[in-house]
């Protein structure tokens, strides 16, 4: 079996485990997610997954993005039932507008490369509310799932390196690794200091 396939499957399984830990935390009440954020991430992850698959044309590299898109939408519905739904603030509305603009850009240009790049910028913007909210209320998030997701993105990074084609391929795993790491670190160290 190809090493890239092994890393890809491990990345997908690790991602699933991270979501299991996260959703278990939602169920127990230890994690208090904002369903609005998860809804935006669900939409963003579907777009990011689709544009990434169109860019790389490689299902081995696509395992983690597919898993993430599907389970992120499931987490949105679970958070909607078990978490809280807040009226979207300006940042959430801005993120939704960016998502819609990226879809429009993609339809008009059919550029998978630039759409993927824009989705990486969109991901950064979409993480600002959770980083801010976790900073203000660190008990609302637990660090463990975020660090598990970091491991998943590290395995995804290894998958991409083993079947390297273009530098655009690597942006997705690197970007998402650091975004998840920031949330995990804020949740861990702000909780310890509060």
pLDDT given for residue 5 in this prediction: 94
Digitized pLDDT (tens) for each residue of the chain, 194 residues in all: 599 999 999 999 999 999 999 999 999 988 888 777 788 888 888 888 888 888 888 999 999 999 999 999 999 998 888 766 667 778 778 877 887 888 888 888 888 788 888 888 888 888 888 898 889 888 888 999 999 999 999 999 999 999 887 777 889 999 999 999 999 999 998 766 65
Q: How many CA atoms lie within 13 A of 19 on its CB side?
A: 21
d(CA 54, CA 147) in angstroms, rounded, equals 28
**116: CB partners within 8 A, 6+ apart:** 48, 51, 52, 55, 168, 171, 172
For the segment 91-133, what is each residue's pLDDT rounded down to a tens digit? 778 877 887 888 888 888 888 788 888 888 888 888 888 898 8
Residue 118 domain boundaries: 3-193
Q: What is the pLDDT of residue 67?
A: 96
Q: What is the count of structural domains for the chain?
A: 1
pLDDT of residue 164: 80
Closest listed residue to residue 60, CA positions, set 132, 156, 138, 126: 156
Instruction: Determine the pLDDT at residue 103.
Output: 81
pLDDT value at position 194? 54
């Amino acid at each position: 079996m190809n090493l890239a396939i092994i890393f890809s499957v491990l990345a997908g399984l690790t991602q699933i485990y991270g979501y299991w830990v996260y959703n278990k935390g939602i169920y127990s009440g230890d994690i208090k997610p904002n369903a609005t954020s998860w809804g935006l991430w669900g939409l963003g992850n579907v777009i990011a997954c689709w544009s990434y698959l169109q860019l790389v044309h490689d299902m081995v590299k696509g395992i983690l993005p597919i898993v993430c898109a599907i389970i992120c939408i499931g987490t949105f519905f679970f958070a909607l039932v078990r978490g809280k739904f807040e009226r979207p603030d300006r940042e959430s509305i801005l993120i939704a507008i960016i998502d819609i603009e990226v879809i429009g850009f993609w339809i008009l240009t059919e550029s998978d490369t630039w759409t993927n790049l824009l989705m990486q910028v969109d991901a950064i913007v979409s993480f600002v509310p959770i980083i801010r909210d976790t900073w203000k209320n660190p008990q609302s998030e637990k660090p463990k799932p975020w660090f598990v997701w970091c491991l998943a993105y590290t395995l995804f990074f290894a998958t991409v390196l083993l079947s390297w084609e273009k530098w655009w391929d690597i942006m997705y795993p690197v970007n998402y690794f650091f975004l998840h790491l920031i949330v995990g670190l804020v949740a861990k160290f702000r909780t310890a200091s509060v």
